[in-house]
Amino acid sequence: MHLSSPLPKKKARIEIIPLIDIMFFLLASFMMVSLSQTHMKGIKVNLPANTSIPTDPNKKDTVSIRVMEGDAVFFDNVLVPHDEVMPRLFKLQQENPDVKVSLSASMLALHGDVIEVLDMVRRADIKKIGYQIRAAH
């Protein structure tokens, strides 16, 4: 004799939504673990500290030197005779040993004149030299 059950007969199913949730959780966990185990390698850099040093208003920090055609030398847009360039550089270095020089030249200035001024800056023991260079048109 066959008796039927009062409960309806259901087929077993695999629910995929909880499976997806578990897979995302495992993926996120493995990603976090792998990122925490990665050692970042880079170059150690000594960054400047934010210190405010009182500056003397008469002390120059930066000087712009421009060499023009005809061996004309300008200090901050003021024409300086060639024989006074070296004494002025020595005076700048004595007033401020950390003075910065920004050297530029016009397109028509001779290469030898620019190198001569650069050598004078180096002989005056000025260490911080910047070059203003423009791209050719």
Q: Which architecture, in CATH terms, is 62-131?
A: 2-Layer Sandwich (3.30)
Residue 132: pLDDT over 90: no
Summarize pLDDT for 62-102 with one digit per residue, the tens: 899 999 998 899 999 899 998 899 999 999 889 888 899 99
Q: Where are the domains of the chain?
A: 62-131
- pLDDT at residue number 27: 95
What pLDDT is attached to residue 6? 74
Residue-wise DSSP of 58-123:
TS-SEEEEEEETTTEEEETTEEE-GGGHHHHHHHHHHH-TT-EEEEEE-TTS-HHHHHHHHHHHHH
* Structural contact between residues 88 and 75, judged by C-beta atoms closer than 8 angstroms: yes
Structure tokens at 136: 């050719």
Q: For residue 48, is pLDDT > 90? A: no
Judged against a pLDDT cut of 90, whether residue 46 lies above it is answered with no
Per-residue pLDDT at 119 exceeds 80: yes
- Is the four-CA dihedral 102, 124, 96, 47 of positive or negative sign? positive
